[in-house]
Amino acid sequence: MDATHPADGPQSPETRPDPVCFRHPGRETHVRCTRCDRHICPDCMHEAPVGYQCPECVRAGRQDIRPVRTQFGGRLGAAPYVTYLLIALNALAYLCELARPSVVDDFEMRGLATVGPDGGYYIFHGFVLPPELHAVGVATGEWYRLLTGAFLHLQPSEGTFGIAHILMNMFSLWVVGRVVEERLGAVRYLAVYLLSAVGGSVAVYLLAPTQGAVGASGAIFGLTAAYFVLSRRMQHDPLGGNRQMVSLLIWLVVSAGITSWQGHLGGLLTGLATGAAIAFAPRRQRGAVQATGLVAVALVLVLLVVLKTTDLADAYPWLPS
């Protein structure tokens, strides 16, 4: 029988090559991933409940794990990106005001007014609008003012309070927004904010249609009201010794007396309604019930605007139909 050539038989332990990392072929290692059984070097090792896992298996495992949700649908530990975005948008709008003050006249919340050649606002009670005047406001079809006014603030020319207006509002949004966003999640949170902003403008339209109003206070009032509803639903103390929350409430009351109490009231009522629609939705079909409640609030706001516009059209015949 012929002898077997050494190269054709099994290699001895001395000649068998050492295993290498499947991600770094130049690195020798004897550690295996406990999930896929491939060799991994120290740079690829991620500690697991048993042994180590490679980066690919760690990512796959994270995708298999469902995130922990609050009882209202928010994801615990998620960063408050929507709050950051809203603060950035308010700051950007304020910079636009500083660069071009006419932005306030073009986008503030105003139900109805007539503008003269000098740019001043007037209320004309006649039956035919003079050619030198033109009408502006929600009643003329400028519905966007219901939302854009909530991103504008008093200018520095208004005095010390002009600067304090946006600074304190953004501080308030930072305090309450992060908490509410974590409990609700990005989509529900944004819906409550925007509906509360519009709700504040609708209240201004109903109660003081000829007055101009700016500020995010109505939206923040709505978030605060929703926060209290959510806290009571969770059987938590809404304040709980939180000094920042107490400061926020004081500011909201003070600003309501200085700016537009109608906008604050509207935001408060809308926040209570949207907060209740979310907080008291049953666990089964929770998302659908919450969405239905939010849509219902939006439809009520639209109906109120339509009814008020019809009422103003009867009082001011020169309004466009």
Positions marked catalytic? 217, 264
Helices (H) and strands (E) in the chain, counts: 10, 7
Q: State the Cα angle at 318 between 315 and 321, rounded to 5°.
A: 90
Neighbours of 271 (CB within 10 A): 30
Q: What is residue 46's three-state secondary structure?
A: strand
Distance CA 273, CA 228 (A): 12
Q: What is the DSSP string of 190-252?
A: HHHHHHHHHHHHHHHHHH-TTSEE--SHHHHHHHHHHHHHHHHHTT--SSTT-HHHHHHHHHH
Q: Residue type at 193?
A: Y
Residue/partner pairs of 163-167 with CB below 8 Å, 24 or more apart: 165/215, 165/255, 165/259, 166/90, 166/91, 166/94
Distance CA 165, CA 256 (A): 11
| CA atoms of 237 and 279, how far apart (whole Å) | 15
Q: Residue 269 in contact with residue 204, Cβ under 8 Å?
A: no
Asked whether 267 and 219 are in contact (CB, 8 A), the reply is yes
Rounded to 5°, angle at Cα 167 from 164 and 170 = 140
* CA neighbor of 70 nearest in space, from 275, 283, 221, 223: 283
Cα separations in angstroms, 285 against 75, 83, 189, 281, 292: 18, 27, 19, 8, 11
User: Facing residues of 28 across strands?
Assistant: 20
